[in-house]
Amino acid sequence: MKAKKSGWAQWLGLSVLVLGLVIGGISCNRKARHQKQLEQTAREGFFFGYPLVLVDESAKHAVALSRTKRNQSKVPMYQFFHIRDASSSPFRDVLAFDNDMLYSLAWLNLAPDPVVLSVPAAGNRYYVGGLLEAWSDIFSVIGTRATGNKAQTFLIAGPQWQGDTPKGLTLLRSRTNFVWLPIRIYANHNKNRKEVVAFQNALKLTPLTAWKKKQSGSAFFTVDTKADLKQSPRDAVFAMTAEEYYRTLCSLMADNPPSPNDEPMVSRLRALGVVPTKNFKFADLPAETQEALSASVKNAKSFLLSQKNAFTPVGRLVNGWTIPSGSSSGGTDYYRKAYEAFVGMSFLPPQDAVFATSYEDNAGQQLMGENSYKLTFPKGQLPPVNAFWSLTMYQLPDMAFSANRYRRYSISSSTNTKVNPDGSVTIYLQPKAPGKNRDTNWLPSTPGTYQLTLRMYWPKAEVLEGRWSPPVIERVERERMAQF
């Protein structure tokens, strides 16, 4: 017979068992916390890299869309991709267009050679071009306000270039070798299209070496024949697997290093094995890291859209409108920067443009295309600008024009709007025409949620100093519609 254990032995055995369970529980909790921290870092890292990957994907789409009917595999690098009609452009998914403007877009690789940008005289035509680094941060502005309307020549150089700037050229220095250059030219709803097209055709890009020899550029972009042109660049990024996304991000960072301000985020990603390299291998990462990176891409789009109201404010909130107080360059609020890139990457400093946005009516409810609203500017209180203003409606979540059979996507300072007897101006936002000679003040809506964007180009001091704000958007009850 086995000797019966003493009470002491039983107590000791039970204590060891309990201690083991406690230690095991602590270990499990630590492991869970560690995994949660990895996933949090990976998620923030995904949105940190989103503007960079989106710029690259947008360039691939634009290059692919620019191919001729010969279905060529390469297109010239040193040329603009001109958009002659923003309302029907195949580039509409690259950024949220303003249909008062025509666009000339260029993607530059400055690693081999700086590029000379020649701009013709613009006469009385308003234009503005913001030069963006690969991370979507703006580093210089050209245009009517910033550099004037005379013919000009600029030298766009990357971080490694150490040469002397030739006489007569203005140096514009980028922190990254990859540069995005969107130039907007005011076309007044295509009414002045012929003159704008002539301006676009006179824009020239030439590598510095060739420019010195009075030659044209001869380098080429390779067309990504795998680009799915039925899918927007935004959704193409969100559709990437974790392996595809982080391989792309690591490769792009190797050529376009992050800002010194991003070092804390870069350091955290380095601990996950996400580093600037052309040889990123997802399969070589620890299983827990692969799991965290995979979780970061899952439902990333819906997460980003759900977080838009939690972003760090960068401007004033007044009458249901968000009015930016500055550009997004240099910020480290990565969720906000990712959302700004998602809704439209072409940023400009406030001196050149202020884009106020609103999603809600006077009751704080989401704007819906099925409802009727009115926006009334008191007498003498239309947006104060030196260039022009426009009000555009975008369907959510993809920031597409609110399609309508009238092809009317905005109302602007050049629209022949009717003035009320008291001098005020009312704009009607609704699915049906308001009638009674008010149709010129009507912005048609279609079913679904939407965002209003009030663009103010070259805003006056009242806007920049916060002394002017857009009026509240009033919902009009159906039974009361006949009263106004």
> What is the spatial distance between Cα 171 and Cα 113, in angstroms, rounded to a whole number?
14
Q: What is the 3-state secondary structure (H, E, C) of the chain?
A: CCCCCCHHHHHHHHHHHHHHHHHHHHHHHHHHHHHHHHHHHHHHHHHHHHHHHHHHHHHHHHHHHCCCCCCCCEEECCCCEEECCHHHCHHHHCCCCCCCEEEEEEEEECCCCCEEEEECCCCCCCEEEEEEECCCCEEEEEECCCCCCCCEEEEEECCCCCCCCCCCCEEEECCCCEEEEEEEEECCCCCCHHHHHHHHHHCEEEEHHHHHCCCCCCCEEECCCCCCCCCCHHHHHHCCCHHHHHHHHHHHHHHCCCCHHHHHHHHHHHCCCCCCCCCCCHHHCCHHHHHHHHHHHCCHHHHHHHCHHHCCCCEEEECCEEEECCCCCCCCCHHHHHHHHHHCCCCCCCCCEEEEEECECCCCCECECCCEEEEEECCCCCCCEEEEEEEEEEECCCCEECCCCCCCCEEECCCCCCCCCCCCEEEEEECCCCCCCCHHHEEECCCCEEEEEEEEEEECHHHHCCCCCCCCEEEECHHHHHHC
Domain residue limits, the chain: 74-222, 240-298, 308-483
Structure token pair of residue 5: 């254990």
Please compute the mean of the pLDDT values over residues 42-64 and round it to a whole number.
Answer: 88
> Which has the minimum average pLDDT: 182-196, 256-270, 432-446, 463-477?
182-196
Residue of 299, 297, 340 whose CA lies nearest to 137 = 340
> What is the spatial distance between Cα 443 and Cα 433, in angstroms, rounded to a whole number?
9
Structure token pair of residue 239: 């559709």
> Which pLDDT score is estimated for 483?
43
**Is the CB of residue 100 less than 8 Å from the CB of residue 187?**
yes
Residue of 51, 60, 57, 91 whose CA lies nearest to 401 = 91
Please compute the mean of the pLDDT values over residues 242-251 and round it to a whole number.
Answer: 96
Please compute the mean of the pLDDT values over residues 326-347 and round it to a whole number.
Answer: 72
> Which pLDDT score is estimated for 201?
94
> Which pLDDT score is estimated for 368?
94
Question: Does pLDDT of 151 surpass 70?
Answer: yes
Backbone phi, psi, residue 196, to 5°: -70, -40
CATH 3.40.350.10 at 308-483, yes or no: no
**What whole-number percentage of the chain has pLDDT above 70?**
81
| Highest-scoring range by mean pLDDT, 26-35, 189-198, 286-295, 297-306 | 286-295
pLDDT tens sequence across 122-146: 999 999 999 999 988 889 999 999 9
Residue 60: pLDDT band by 50, 70, 90 thresholds?
confident
Please compute the mean of the pLDDT values over residues 150-165 and round it to a whole number.
Answer: 95
Please compute the mean of the pLDDT values over residues 275-287 and round it to a whole number.
Answer: 94
Peptide bond into 313 cis (omega under 30): no
> What is the spatial distance between Cα 113 and Cα 115, in angstroms, rounded to a whole number?
6
> Which pLDDT score is estimated for 479?
44
Please compute the mean of the pLDDT values over residues 227-252 and round it to a whole number.
Answer: 89
Cβ-based neighbour number of residue 374 at 10 Å: 19
pLDDT tens sequence across 73-97: 666 667 888 888 766 554 455 556 6
> Which pLDDT score is estimated for 423?
96
> Which pLDDT score is estimated for 481?
44
Greatest alpha-carbon pair distance for the chain in Å reads 110
Cβ-based neighbour number of residue 316 at 10 Å: 14
Structure token pair of residue 105: 């877009």
Q: Treating both helix axes as pointing N-terminal to C-terminal, what angle do 263-270 and 7-65 enclose, rounded to 10 degrees?
A: 120
Structure-model confidence comparison of residues 396 and 371, the more confident one: 371
Question: Does pLDDT of 220 surpass 90?
Answer: no
**Is the CB of residue 101 less than 8 Å from the CB of residue 126?**
no
Q: What angle do CA 111, 231, 448 make, to 5 degrees?
A: 125
Which string of b and e fits 170-203 if b means at least 16 CB within 10 Å? eebbbbbbbbbbbbbbbbbbbebeebbeebbeeb
Please compute the mean of the pLDDT values over residues 364-378 and round it to a whole number.
Answer: 94
**Is the CB of residue 117 less than 8 Å from the CB of residue 205?**
yes
Question: Does pLDDT of 482 surpass 60?
Answer: no
**Is the CB of residue 74 less than 8 Å from the CB of residue 194?**
no
Backbone phi, psi, residue 8, to 5°: -65, -45
The fold for domain 74-222 equals Immunoglobulin-like (2.60.40)
Please compute the mean of the pLDDT values over residues 174-193 and round it to a whole number.
Answer: 86
> Which pLDDT score is estimated for 321?
92
> Which pLDDT score is estimated for 281?
94
Residue 303: pLDDT band by 50, 70, 90 thresholds?
confident
In whole numbers, what is the pLDDT of the chain averaged over residues?
84
Cβ-based neighbour number of residue 50 at 10 Å: 26
Please compute the mean of the pLDDT values over residues 52-65 and round it to a whole number.
Answer: 83
